[in-house]
Amino acid sequence: MEIKYMLSNPTAVKTFSDSGILTKESPWEVAEMSDIVITMLPSSSHVSDVYTGPNGLLHHGNLLRPWLFIDSSTIDPQTSRRISAMVSKCALKEKKAFILQPQGSKLKKLNG
């Protein structure tokens, strides 16, 4: 299994690259090379941008390679539902799924 990273922090990207881990410039570049994509981001706006932004994971819609998207961000439920609906409408490999697996404080999880 090969792991690819896309980070917005140039110092972190260099650290990963220097360790021999393949890094990419955009979420779409990661999606082009991946069967499974895992995201763990700090806010709903970050998740929306990574999935639906100009170079986002769903940018090319019907040309998606990944068949499994796992979001481990602690975000609002509306964003999760919206992204899940968008993933379900895309033409993926035979299987397709969007799984929400939030991380973070118990209070944030209880409040959605």
Q: Which pLDDT score is estimated for 23?
A: 80
According to CATH, the topology of domain 4-110 is Rossmann fold (3.40.50)
Domain ranges of the chain: 4-110
pTM of the model: 0.73
The CA distances from residue 28 to 14, 24, 92, 105, in Å, are 19, 9, 14, 30
| pLDDT more than 70, % of the chain | 70
Decide if pLDDT at 10 tops 80: no
| Digit-coded pLDDT (tens) for 17-43 | 888 888 887 888 888 888 888 888 889
Q: What pLDDT digit, counting tens, does each position of 42-55 carry?
A: 899 999 999 999 88
